[in-house]
Chains A and B, each alone.
Chain A
Amino acid sequence: LRVPLSWLHEYLDFDLSADELVDLFSLRSQEIDGVYRLGVSEGEVVVGEVVEFGPHPNADRLFVAKVDLGGREVQIVAGAPNPRPGDRVPVVLPGSVMADGTKLREARLRGLASYGMMMSERELGISANHGGIVLLDDSYDVGRPVADYFPVGETVLDIDVTPNRPDLWGMIGVARELAAILETGYRTPEPTYVAEGRPTHDFGLRVEAEDLCPRYDLRRVSDLEPGQEAPLIVRRRIYAAGMRPINAVVDATNYVMLETGQPIHAFDAARVREGIVVRRGREKEKITLLDGSTRVLDEEMLVIADEERGLVIAGVMGAEDAEVGDETTDALIEVANFEGRNILQTSQKLGLRTDASGRFERGLDPNMVDYAMERVCALLTQDPGGIPADDTLSHYPHPVEPWRVPLRLVRAELLLGMPVKMEEASERLEALGCEVEREDGRLLATVPTFRRDLRREADLVEEVGRLIGLDKVPETLPAVPQAGRLTESQQQARSLRRLLADLGLAEAITYPFGPERWTADLSMEGEAVGLENPLSVEDGYLRTSILPGLLDATARNKAFGARGGALFELGNVFLADIPHDDLREAALRFRMTGELGAQEAGRLMGVREASKIGVVLAGTVRPAGWNVPEFEAGFFEAKGLVERLVPGGRFVPATRPHLHPGRSAAVLVGDDEAGWVGELHPEVAGRFGLEGWPVAALELEAAVCRPDPEPRFVPFVNVPAVARDLAVLVEERIPVGDMLRSVLDLHRSLLAEARVFDVYAGSPVPQGQKSVAFGFTFQGEKTLTDEEVDAEVGRILRRLEDEFGVLLRS
Chain B
Amino acid sequence: MSVSERIERLKSEALSAVASGTSTADLEDVRVRFLGRSAELTEIKKSIGALSPEERKEVGRSSNRASREIEAALGSRTEEVAARELEERLQAEAVDVTLPGVPFQRGHLHPSQMVIDDVVDFFVGLGYRVAEGPEVETDYYNFTALGIPPGHPARTMQDTFFVDEGLVLRTQTSPMQIRTMLSQGPPVYVVCPGRTYRRDSDPTHTPMFHQVEGLAVDRGLTLGHLKGTLAAMARHVFGGGVEIRLRPSYFQFTEPSVEMDVSCFVCGGTDPDCKVCKGAGWLEMLGAGMVDPGVLEEVGYDPEEYTGYAFGMGPDRMAMVKYGVPDLRLFFEGDLRFLRQF
Contact = CB atoms under 8 A, between A and B. Distances in A.
Contacts of A519: none
Contact of B153 (A362, A477, A501): A362
A542 B197 CA distance: 12
Pick the most buried of A345, A361, A362, A594: most chain B CB atoms within 10 A of its CB.
Answer: A594
A512 B207 CA distance: 10
Interface stretch (B36-44, B69-77, B83-91, B241-249): B241-249
Nearest to A622: B105
A478 B218 contact: yes
Contacts of B340: 506
Interface string B280-307: 0000000000101100000000000001
Pick the most buried of B163, B195, B245, B334: most chain A CB atoms within 10 A of its CB.
Answer: B334
B333 interface: yes
Interface in B75-130: 99-100, 102-110, 112-113, 117, 120, 123-130
A462 B336 contact: no
Interface in B151-202: 151-154, 156-157, 161-167, 169, 182, 187, 189, 195, 199, 201
A27 B248 CA distance: 7
Contacts of B10: none
Contacts of B258: 470
A557 B337 CA distance: 8
B335 interface: yes
B259 interface: yes
A699 to B, nearest CB: 16
B124 A553 contact: no
Contacts of A513: 207
A599 interface: no
Contact of B207 (A417, A457, A508, A539): A539
A406 to B, nearest CB: 13
Pick the most buried of B112, B248, B257, B258: most chain A CB atoms within 10 A of its CB.
Answer: B248
B216 interface: yes
A562 B150 CA distance: 48
Contacts of B250: 162-165
Pick the most buried of A456, A461, A475: most chain B CB atoms within 10 A of its CB.
Answer: A475
B223 to A, nearest CB: 5
Nearest to B334: A553
Contact of A415 (B132, B223, B247): B223
A625 interface: yes
B245 A471 contact: yes
A635 interface: no
Contact of B161 (A534, A590, A591, A606): A534
A594 B145 contact: yes
Nearest to A595: B140
B331 A590 contact: no
B224 A474 contact: yes
Contacts of B218: 478, 481
Contact of B227 (A462, A473, A593, A627): A473
Interface stretch (A238-246, A254-262, A492-500): A492-500
A484 B124 contact: yes
B228 interface: yes
Given A462-B248, A504-B105, A509-B113, A625 B100 contact: yes
Contacts of A164: 250
A634 to B, nearest CB: 16
Interface in A456-477: 456-459, 461-462, 465-466, 470-471, 473-477
A529 interface: yes
Interface residues on chain A, size class: 35 or more
A226 to B, nearest CB: 40
Interface string A19-31: 0000000111111
B100 A484 contact: no
Interface string B215-255: 01010111111011101100000000000011111100001
B224 A475 contact: yes
A483 B339 contact: no
Contacts of B99: 626-627
A627 B339 CA distance: 27
Given A459-B255, A476-B228, A533 B223 contact: no
Contacts of B113: 497, 507, 509
Contacts of B189: 478, 480, 482, 484
A509 B138 contact: no
Contacts of A29: 248
A238 B127 CA distance: 55
B134 to A, nearest CB: 5
B139 interface: yes
A591 B166 contact: yes
Contacts of A483: 127
B167 A163 contact: no
Contacts of A704: none
A162 B251 CA distance: 9
A609 B150 CA distance: 26
A571 interface: yes
B163 A594 contact: no
Nearest to A348: B156
Contacts of A417: 222-225, 227
B109 A497 contact: yes
Pick the most buried of A505, A507, A511: most chain B CB atoms within 10 A of its CB.
Answer: A507
Given A539-B207, A591-B167, 5 more contacts: A456-B293, A481-B187, A532-B163, A533-B161, A590-B140
26 contacts: A27-B248, A31-B259, A162-B249, A414-B222, A415-B290, A462-B257, A470-B227, A474-B228, A476-B222, A482-B189, A484-B125, A486-B124, A498-B109, A501-B108, A501-B109, A503-B107, A506-B107, A510-B333, A529-B136, A533-B161, A533-B199, A539-B207, A556-B334, A588-B166, A592-B140, A594-B145
The 4 closest A-B pairs by CB, nearest first: A553-B334, A417-B224, A591-B166, A417-B222
Interface of B: 99-100, 102-110, 112-113, 117, 120, 123-130, 132, 134-136, 138-141, 144-145, 150-154, 156-157, 161-167, 169, 182, 187, 189, 195, 199, 201, 206-208, 216, 218, 220-225, 227-229, 231-232, 245-250, 255-259, 290, 292-293, 307, 331-337, 339-340
